[in-house]
Structure 1
Amino acid sequence: MDRMRDVREAIGEWISHIALRSPARLALGTFGAVILLFSGLLSLPAATASGERAPFIDALFTATSAVCVTGLVTVDTGSYWSAWGLAIIALGIKVGGLGIMTLASLLGLAVSRRLGLTQRLLAAGEARASGLGDLRSLLRTVVVVSFSVEIVIALVLLPRFLTLDYGVGRSIGYSSFYAISAFNNAGFTPDPAGLYPYAADFWMLVPIGLGVLIGSLGYPVYLNMVRGWQRPRMWSLHTKLTLIMVGALMLVSAGFLAVFEWSNPDTLGAASTQETIGNIFFQSINQRSGGFASFDVGQARETTWLLEIVLMFIGGGSGSTAGGIRVTTLAVLLLAIVAEARGRRDMEAFGKRVGTEVLRGAVAITMIGVSVVVVGTAVFMAQTDITLDRALYETVSAFATCGLSTGITAGLPPEAKGTLIVLMYVGRVGSLTVAAALALNKQRRVIRYPSERPIIG
């Protein structure tokens, strides 16, 4: 007993040492370990409908896509995996949506009733808490919002599946799966045909779309809105920018999608006006991160692909289940452009000044994201004979953890699947987290060089 206690203490001290020295590396390692765990579970014969062991590359791809809440698949989710396999995928989505470090802190809080400094720092980084003092309230908000929204969505969808004669057990399983997948912006569907058969079924599309929208806002926004629901004017700048950017991008997306696809008979052109409008708004929510599709994206026009590539790269809110560079990053870049165009020294919004360090972070996140996508697309094209338009769409979807696809994922060679696995992993843990994990040390310079302004443009 004493020896076991000594081993546990030694392991705890080792983990604490790594966490304090490099929390980013610990987060990367933990996330990778969880992906491998779910890969092993999906490799079991009981996880497939045929009872045969799934190829490891497909099990690893599906596990990565689930834990990274992406939605890209190499095999049909509804027909290839068994009920046990679907349960594993749903659990992977839930774990990935909450965030590994956040989940670890929740478990630690439940056991010890208090959080250590290391756990607080790690969870604050994962959930984008504004400060350590907000962490306990933020974690409570994470649990309440995520489970409440998922339960409500499942209860709304359950009667619909019962009317389709799915049976009680299957209806409960499907409604729960869709609820978890929607709120966590995962895009997985347990139906073999996906959402295509429900393109005119608003009983299905509305709760799923609302779940994706709520999940893409971010836990800091929920916390701020819950605390100040009676005084919207007192909401934080982050909350205001997130809500404005999400609403604006939805309208822009819906407008361009209507222009590009209204007359396309292979997507929206053959539907009624009511169905078309409903699908446009449903797709405008999912284009940034949700990953659900009510029509065949592979049949859409290339202009629509370009629109979706841009929207996927932007993604959702910080600290949310969405991916991409995040809407507040785009907002800061736009504020910098406005300030420069007006000749102002500071970036300002809603009576607040945005510091230059925030702009540096936004530029860094954007440039790292662009670099990862460019390199990933080049590698992906070298591994396949796929054209640039489809290759760029697939790699951006993987990096932005969106999950939309033009239909090429299932036929990819193993090495191309590996490239998408890496992109999903990098996109979920965050570009800056990867950069911090690879950095050997930090340097604090006491001496600063004299400034000089180069000519720009």
Structure 2
Amino acid sequence: MYKQAKGWLASSPPRALTLGFVAIILVGAILLKLPISLKDGQSIRWIDALFTSVSATCVTGLVVVDTGTFFSVFGHWVILVLVQIGGVGFMTMGTLFALFLRRKVSLKERLILQESLNQNNLEGIIRLVRRVINYALTIELAGSLLFTLRFMLDMPPGRALYYGIFHGVSIFNNAGFDLFGDYRSMSNYISDPFVNILSIILIILGGLGFVVLADLVEYRRNRRLSLHSKVAICVTLLLFVVGAIVILLFEFTNEKTLGPLGTADKIFAALLHSMTPRSAGITTIDVSSLRQATQFLLVILMFIGVSPGSTGGGIKTTTFAVLIVAVLAVFRGREDVVLLRHTIERERVYKAITVTLFSFLIVVAGTMLLSVTENHTFMGVLFESTSAFATVGLSTGLTPELTDAGKLILILLMFMGRLGPFTLFYAVGPKHGRPLYRHAEGKIIIG
């Protein structure tokens, strides 16, 4: 029996990756259930501990209890460690320890790393892991230091350092957890350009993906970027700018959001809330007070998400780009799908369509189930489902009021969104060999 289980696990890196995430989530839930993780007088149910552990490990940020006022310092560090492991990947962290102990990384472990980092081949995978760790720690250290310096203006140095580290790591990993209490997120800093700009930069760096960061670092030497990096950067900037403009137009006169702010503050708030739906989850305004048109825009941005190999979720920017150029190719009557003067192979186009359709169906199923279990508006339910699946963490206020059934639905959505449709499919689905025959070609009417 043991050999069969070991063979089943070793035969599929996606299975090992999935079970690894499950193990970390369960350990996190047990730790968060301990009295040492809670502030005096607080107690937490198993379902809430599990929800918080899943949200942290899947770098989502949706919470059923207020992080800042409910958990102790130990509980905060448990959440932060789960965020770090979930953001850079538990196999990446494991490989770091293996390299530190000078232990050789096996082929099986390299295959799991390849799956975890969403790479197409094994070449240079250990070198990429070293870069991932170096980039993540460097950016987190810089972000934590800058946040600490800013928070020292509002609180004692020790607490400022504590808050700086927590929010630097949380925001870079696109997690969305905060310590300010009362579900306020970063609303106290809505008029602070330093906090807004720093948060936007950390979200972008965490969302571009480590492959893109490596390309940018080496650009001074190579003077070129890969097609993947060009597409990821272009789509990220395009969605960022367009999203900010649309949010500014929709919310400019909304007295519950941007209306009372000055022009500069409105621009900063629009920029942050154009970037944060991409997977970050931090806010400076009340999302539930946004107009429905703006909320729906955020749903679209959440569904698209960030770039592959990053700390965030969604169908990914490159998938979105491939879909757009594929549609344009059909409209123009062309067989080849061309993106930035490169022909995209059909296999990748099919994969983009599959990921998008599968993700869409998951969000639809989650929305329908939540509509049954929760007494809330359709937009609120759709928003929460998309936020969970895209591992964003934005909420219209529904999550803290969820029934136990609703919590289980969001737990599944967060888990599926973090692992990705293909990893889950290959983890639980049977292996199929290449067919030895082709069926006769058929014609059906489309459109």
TM-score (normalised: structure 1): 0.94
Give CA deviations for 1:339-388 in whole Å, capped at 9, x if unaligned: 21222221112332110000111111011101111111111111111121
Shift of 1:227: 2.9
Q: Map residues 20-31 of structure 1 onto 2, 5 A cutoff.
A: 20-31=10-21
- Does the alignment pair 1:132 with 2:107? no
1:186 and 2:171 correspond: no
Task: For residue 25 of structure 1, report the CA deviation from its aligned partner.
Answer: 1.6
User: 1:14: how far off?
Assistant: 7.3
**Offset of residue 439 of structure 1:** 1.0
Residue identity (%)? 34
The answer for the alignment partner of 2:156 in structure 1 is: 167
Matched residue count: 445
Q: Does 1:422 align with 2:412?
A: yes
3-state SS, counterpart of residue 319 of structure 1:
coil
Which stretches of structure 1, 4 residues or longer, exceed 4 Å deviation after superposition?
13-16
Partner of 2:430 in structure 1? 440
Alignment partner of 1:353 out of 326, 343, 348? 343
User: Pairwise mapping of residues 256-267 of structure 1 onto structure 2 (< 5 A)?
Assistant: 256-267=246-257
1:51 to partner: Cα distance: 4.6
Q: Is the 8 A contact 2:117 2:309 kept in 1?
A: yes
The gaps in structure 1 that reach 5 residues or longer are 1-9
1:141 aligns with one of 109, 114, 131: 131
Q: 2:375 aligns with which of 385, 389, 407?
A: 385
Contact in 2 for aligned 1:61/1:74 (Cα 8 Å): yes
Which position in structure 2 is the counterpart of 1:325? Answer: 315
Q: TM-score, normalization: structure 2?
A: 0.96
Q: Which residue of 1 aligns with 2:446?
A: 456
Choose which of 207, 212, 221 in structure 2 pairs with 1:216: 207
Task: Give the C-alpha shift of residue 29 in structure 1.
Answer: 1.1
Q: Aligned letter for 1:433?
A: T
Matched residue type, 2:64: T
- Assess if the C-alpha contact under 8 Å between 1:45 and 1:53 holds in 2: yes
> CA offsets per residue over residues 231-278 of structure 1, 9 Å max, x none?
45x311111110110011111101110111011010011000011111
The alpha carbon displacement at 1:109 in A equals 2.9
Residue 285 (1) aligns with residue 305 (2): no
Cα shift at 1:140: 1.2
Which of 247, 250, 259 is the aligned partner of 1:269? 259
Aligned to 2:218: 227
What is the CA RMSD across the aligned residues, in angstroms?
1.7
Kept in 2: contact 1:120–1:135 (CA 8 A): yes
Q: Distance in 2 between matches of 1:213 and 1:77?
A: 24
> Could you tell me whether the CA contact under 8 Å between 2:322 and 2:339 is conserved in 1?
no
SS in 2 for 1:132: coil
Structure 1 pair 138–15 and aligned structure 2 pair: CA distance change class (3 A):
farther
Contact 1:346–1:354 (CA<8 Å) still a contact in 2?
yes
Counterparts of residues 389-400 of structure 1 (less than 5 Å) = 389-400=379-390
1:440 positional shift: 1.9
| Counterpart contact for 2:60–2:388, Cα < 8 Å | yes
Letter in 2 for 1:196: S
Stretches of structure 2 that go unaligned for 5 or more consecutive residues are none
Structure 1 residues 100 and 453: CA distance shift in structure 2, 3 A: farther
- Match of 1:316, SS state, is coil
Q: Give distance in 2, aligned partners of 1:181 and 1:393.
A: 22
* Deviation of the 1:421 alpha carbon: 0.8
Answering whether residue 109 of structure 2 is matched by residue 123 of structure 1, we say: no
Moved more, 177-186 or 379-388: 379-388
1:172-196 C-alpha deviation (Å, 9 max, x unpaired): 1100000001110001111113211
Deviation at 1:159, TM superposition (A): 1.6
Q: CA deviation digits over 1:100-137, x for unaligned, max 9?
A: 22222333333344321111111111112242112122
